[in-house]
């Protein structure tokens, strides 16, 4: 159940669909955390690009290593998300 009004992938207008497309390309889906910002594409678009550059693209660490570190920190913080 959503407590924040969101716009689903199916209901997105052209601008939001383009942003969702970039996120979906990076993650294979549009995670709910991004959909929670769907009413503010002016904020969602740069956040999506930032996360893609930080977590998806390989730099000094591979994507797999970054995701393992994120999962480990989430576990330490008792975060179920």
64-75 pLDDT per residue, tens: 999 899 999 999
pTM: 0.77
18-60 pLDDT per residue, tens: 999 999 998 899 999 999 999 999 999 999 999 989 888 888 9
Q: Which long-range contacts (CB under 8 A, 24 or more apart) does 46-51 make?
A: 48/19, 48/22, 48/23, 49/22, 51/26
């Amino acid at each position: 159940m959503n407590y924040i009004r969101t716009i689903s992938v199916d209901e997105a207008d052209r601008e939001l669909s383009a942003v969702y497309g970039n996120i979906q390309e990076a993650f294979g889906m549009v995670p709910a955390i991004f959909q929670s910002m769907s009413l503010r594409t002016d904020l969602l678009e740069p956040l999506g690009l930032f996360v893609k550059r930080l977590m998806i693209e390989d730099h000094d660490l591979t994507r797999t290593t970054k995701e393992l570190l994120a999962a480990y920190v989430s576990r330490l913080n008792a975060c179920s998300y």
